[in-house]
Amino acid sequence: MPQKKQKKSNTQDLLQEYDIPDNRHNFSKIWDLLKKENPDVKPSLNYSNPLELLIATVLSAQSTDVQINKVTEKLFKKYRTEEDYANADLRELENDIYSTGFYKNKAKNIKDSARIIIEHHNGEVPKTMEELVALPGVGRKTANIILARGFGVTEGIAVDTHVKRVSRRLGLTKHSDPEKIEQDLMSLVPKEEYDSFSMTLIYHGRKICHARKPDCPSCVVNKLCPSGVIYMSQYNL
């Protein structure tokens, strides 16, 4: 049974009170069940080429994919090439993406990235991790998504807030740093399944393993999840 820490006050998450034990020995069983439960998980952002994927993923930071898809439905008709973004009026671009949040930084990063792609990559979105993370606003998570879904290149596992939360609750990592979490998960997940694993955990986090109140009784892996044991015992579920 997980050991309880000293009581925290005003915690938003009951599970923060516990040291979640190492549960990596159950990874294969957990992953098999999650795959069977979610056999057709697909990317939730809409895009038709690597440039659109880059823009959509940059915009998705601190926003929802539903909102991003609403914005990009119009955005991708107005801006079709790297030149369109590089030459865009900054204030106009800010207005076009306003509802995604942090629109000033995002607009500047998009314009600067488009310029770099034109000047240093012959007008094509780069296909390596090193080159992608050199673009403004692009970290490993975004680069992993672009490589996997834009070019079919398997480099690593995209770790967003859902992947971070679910993997920690499952006892697959104790880290809070996304890059360290990624390394832990890469040691468990077969390389050919890196992208599907990330998408599956994201879907599971959105539908079942919610941040504030996980739906443990409906979770297909609740008997293998140390956090599920804690949560259901606290509420007599």
* Environment class of 36 (CB within 10 Å of its CB; exposed 0-12, middle 13-18, buried 19+): exposed
For residue 213, indicate whether it is catalytic.
no
Q: What is the pTM of this model?
A: 0.90
Domain topology for 3-37+158-234: Endonuclease Iii, domain 2 (1.10.1670)
Per-residue pLDDT band at 5 (split at 50, 70, 90): low
Among candidate residues 141, 164, 184, 195, the one labeled active-site is 141
The two three-digit tokens of residue 41, written as one number: 């998980």
Give the whole-angstrom CA distance, residue 117 versus residue 8.
Answer: 48
The predicted structure's pLDDT at residue 232: 81
**How much is the pLDDT for 234?**
72
- Listed by start position, the domains of the chain span 3-37+158-234, 50-151
Q: What would the 3-class secondary structure string for 22-57 be?
A: CCHHHHHHHHHHHHHHCCCCCCCCCCCCHHHHHHHH
How many angstroms separate the CA atoms of 138 and 105, rounded?
12
pLDDT, average across residues 6-17: 48
152-176 as b/e: b if 16+ CB within 10 A:
eeebbbbbbebbbbbbbbbbbbeee
What percent of the chain is modeled with pLDDT above 70?
Answer: 91
The answer to whether residues 51 and 81 touch, using CB atoms and an 8 Å cutoff, is yes
* pLDDT score at 170: 97
Report phi then psi at 187, rounded to 5.
Answer: -75, -10
The string of pLDDT tens digits covering residues 163-216 is 999 999 999 999 999 999 999 999 999 999 999 999 999 999 999 999 988 999
Return mean pLDDT, the chain.
93
Cα–Cα dist 60/40, whole Å: 22
CATH H-level, domain 50-151: superfamily? Hypothetical protein; domain 2 (1.10.340.30)
Query: What pLDDT digit, counting tens, does each position of 35-83 carry?
Result: 999 999 999 999 999 999 999 999 999 999 999 999 999 999 999 999 9
Return the pLDDT at 96. 98
Which token pair is 84? 């369109």
**Residue 9 confidence (pLDDT):** 38
**Per-residue pLDDT averaged across 4-17, rounded?**
48
Q: Which of 13, 65, 112, 160 is catalytic?
A: 160
- The reply to whether 96 belongs to the active site is no
Mean pLDDT, rounded, for 119-138: 98
